[in-house]
Amino acid sequence: MDYQAVLAEVWDAVRPVLGQGRVATYIPALAAVDPRRFGMALATVEGDVYGIGDWREPFSIQSISKVFTLALALSRDGDALWRRVGKEPSGNPFNSLVQLEYEQGIPRNPFINAGALVITDRLQRLTGDSRGTLRDFLRAESGNPLVDFDPVIAASEAEHGHRNRALAHFMASYGNMESAVPEVLEHYFWQCSLAMSCADLAKACGFLARHGQRADGSRLLTRSQAKQVNAVMLTCGTYDAAGEFAYRVGLPGKSGVGGGIIAVIPNRCGLCVWSPGLDARGNSVAGVEALDRFTTLTGLSIF
């Protein structure tokens, strides 16, 4: 398949929606980005990379980090991890507090903020350095040693992180935090601040297209665990819009409020699209449109 030609066609098709949606403003440093930016990259399991637009431009990965922290924690903890976090769609916004009380401090899934805080807590206990473990993994998988945190974004999020603090303390009150809450939040904020390009992220999610095998041929996840992570991405990766995303795109995907979305086509490639204008549920408007066009044009969905 001529991926470069397909991507060019996708780019043409999304032009009318570029600039639609609103950039995230609840983390003030994210609000400075031009909503008309657009990039998309595809990295095959064989190692070829294709891209269009701003595909080499680093952006704030935000919640896309949650896929990688889940994989890193699951690889070390195995099924024990699921005692502290569920694997059901929440049907609620990513930063919602309501379910946590009547579900006794166990978050619905690892991709809503509460679930990602639990995963960060676990990864911190398992490695002693959650954010460093994540950064090193992403450098290795993307092949880009320059992948790094953005201290301005991390500071902005810490300053305005009242909701995440509330979530973490609430879970601590149910005994679902092992480390001190400020330590967990610090790692979480830095993880979300990582800056990566579409090319970096398309390569970095390759292990999920290779059934758990890393870029160097070693194994992070068992085949079964890679299936589990992909399945949770499909059902929970775009929060209360996961049904719509599965309907339109038909791939496991994970969004972030920086405007990025990664998606996985098992056995074939990792994809990443970036455009900062978000819909009401925090997913990139042009990003979802581009992935919808891509699977429609190519027939490459998992269904």
Question: What one-character DSSP code corresponds to residue 60?
Answer: E
User: Which token pair is 93?
Assistant: 């916004």
Is 294 a binding residue for ligand DON by CB under 6 A? The answer is: no
Give the integer Cα–Cα distance in Å for 118 and 144: 28
Q: Is 275 annotated as catalytic? A: no
**Among residues 109, 213, 255, 295, which is the contact residue for ligand DON, using CB under 6 A?**
255
> Would the CA dihedral through 173, 175, 177, 183 be positive or negative?
positive
Is 287 a binding residue for ligand DON by CB under 6 A? The answer is: no
Give the integer Cα–Cα distance in Å for 196 and 21: 22
Provide Rg for the chain, Cα atoms: 17
- Bridge partners, residue 59, by sequence: 196
From 184, 239, 255, 285, the catalytic residue: 239
Q: Smallest Cα–Cα separation from 261: which of 277, 280, 275, 281?
A: 275
Is 95 a binding residue for ligand DON by CB under 6 A? The answer is: yes
Q: Is 218 annotated as catalytic? A: no
**Among residues 35, 256, 276, 277, which is the contact residue for ligand DON, using CB under 6 A?**
256
From 188, 203, 273, 284, the catalytic residue: 188
Give the integer Cα–Cα distance in Å for 196 and 201: 7
Residue pair 69/51 in contact by the 8 Å Cβ criterion: no
Q: Is 188 annotated as catalytic? A: yes
Residue pair 211/226 in contact by the 8 Å Cβ criterion: yes
Number of residues binding to ligand DON, judged by CB under 6 A = 12
Q: Which helix (H) or strand (E) holds 43?
A: strand 39-44
Q: Is 239 annotated as catalytic? A: yes
Closer residue to ligand DON (CB): 90 or 225: 90
Q: Is 257 annotated as catalytic? A: yes
x/- letters, 55..84, toward ligand DON (CB under 6 A)? -------xx---------------------
Binding segment (CB under 6 A) for ligand DON, from list 32-40, 124-132, 209-217, 255-263: 255-263
Closest approach of ligand DON to the CB of residue 64, in Å? 7
Binding segment (CB under 6 A) for ligand DON, from list 3-11, 214-222, 254-262, 291-299: 254-262
Binding segment (CB under 6 A) for ligand DON, from list 1-9, 37-45, 50-58, 252-260: 252-260
Give the integer Cα–Cα distance in Å for 44 and 210: 10
Q: Smallest Cα–Cα separation from 98: which of 117, 82, 112?
A: 112
Looking at residues 159 to 218 of the shown chain, list those that interact with ligand DON (rule: CB under 6 A): 164, 192
Which residues are catalytic, by number? 63, 66, 188, 239, 257
Summarize as ranges the residues that interact with ligand DON (CB under 6 A).
62-63, 94-95, 113, 157, 164, 192, 255-257, 282
